[in-house]
Structure 1
Amino acid sequence: MTRVVAQGTFDLLHPGHVHYLRDAEAMGDELHVIVARSVNVTHKEPPVVPDEQRRDMVGALKPVDEAHLGHPEDIFVPIEHIEPDVIALGYDQHHDTDQLRHALAERGIDCEIRRASPLDADEEYLLSTGRIIDRVIDERA
């Protein structure tokens, strides 16, 4: 059995998230998703939706076998617990694969790293939380 881990913030779910998780699901037999805690989101605006609610929403999606909250201090703790064969990164996630491989090796975690494909969508698709928020502000403010 091939166990896959996907991870992300998953704030305001959108078609890009679903595409990523479907791609990740296709990489193995069991998909675990680690939902980042708000305190660990430093590369973009903090999430609007609370941690547990984001985890529950992701866990309710068909491709996901189990959703986990990330660790508040050490992002590798859930990965060590899950013991994945594959880590599936989103096509546009900010992670440097070489640095990630090095960090995993230092922790004794032996798994493959793959990137999901981009979602080919027209301009009307809202593929980021920021674009969803901007649309809400434009149309409701």
Structure 2
Amino acid sequence: MKTVMAQGTFDILHPGHLHYFEESKKLGDELVVVISRDSRHEDRKIFLDENDRQKMVQALETVDKAVLGTEGDIYETVEKIDPDVITLGYDQNHSKDEVKKMAEEATGHKVTVKRIEGLEDFSSSKIKDFHS
């Protein structure tokens, strides 16, 4: 079975997130979504706590499993999930090459990293700014 790992905050679910999940799911058999921990967002306001965000994402039909990320080293989660594919959102500022290298070191096997493009007009930040 081919496991795909997607990750993010997912504070306010919107069509961009749904597109990210749907496109990620097409790349494998099982989609595991990692929800970032509240402690990682002390620099910005998060509307929903990590448990509520996890419940919301888990309720989506496309998502096979939603888990909370680790409090410590963020790459421990990659080792635990052992993905074959890691997807990045268009707005995630991670280097595909760096993520690939880290993931392959963590899992001990080849990992494909793909950036999911599309629906860039949607973002939680834009929605929050609009309603401020």
CA–CA distance in 2 between the matches of 1:3 and 1:100?
16
Alignment correspondent of 2:17: 17
Root mean square deviation, CA, Å: 1.8
SS at match of 1:72: coil
SS at match of 1:6: strand
Letter in 2 for 1:30: E
> Taking structure 1 as the reference length, what is the TM-score of the superposition?
0.84
Q: After superposition, give the CA deviation of every residue in 1:93-112 in whole Å (9 maximum; x if it has no partner).
A: 11111221222233344311
CA–CA distance in 2 between the matches of 1:101 and 1:120?
23
Kindly indicate whether the alpha-carbon contact (under 8 Å) linking 1:10 and 1:17 is maintained by their aligned counterparts in 2: yes
> Taking structure 2 as the reference length, what is the TM-score of the superposition?
0.89
Alignment correspondent of 1:30: 30
SS at match of 1:102: helix
Please state how far the C-alpha of 1:91 moved relative to its aligned partner.
Answer: 2.1
Distance 1:38 1:46, change over 3 A: farther
**Structure of greater Rg:** 1
CA–CA distance in 2 between the matches of 1:41 and 1:114?
24
CA–CA distance in 1 between the matches of 2:108 and 2:8?
19
Distance 1:78 1:129, change over 3 A: same
SS at match of 2:71: coil
Determine what percentage of the aligned residue pairs are the same residue: 40
Alignment correspondent of 1:131: 126
Distance 1:70 1:46, change over 3 A: farther
CA–CA distance in 2 between the matches of 1:75 and 1:120?
25
Aligned pairs for 1:35-114 within 5 A: 35-41=35-41, 45-110=44-109, 111-114=111-114
Matched pairs, number: 131
Letter in 1 for 2:67: H
Please state how far the C-alpha of 1:75 moved relative to its aligned partner.
Answer: 1.0
SS at match of 1:49: coil
SS at match of 2:66: strand
Point out the more displaced range, 73-82 or 103-112. 103-112
Please state how far the C-alpha of 1:120 moved relative to its aligned partner.
Answer: 6.6
Distance 1:73 1:120, change over 3 A: closer
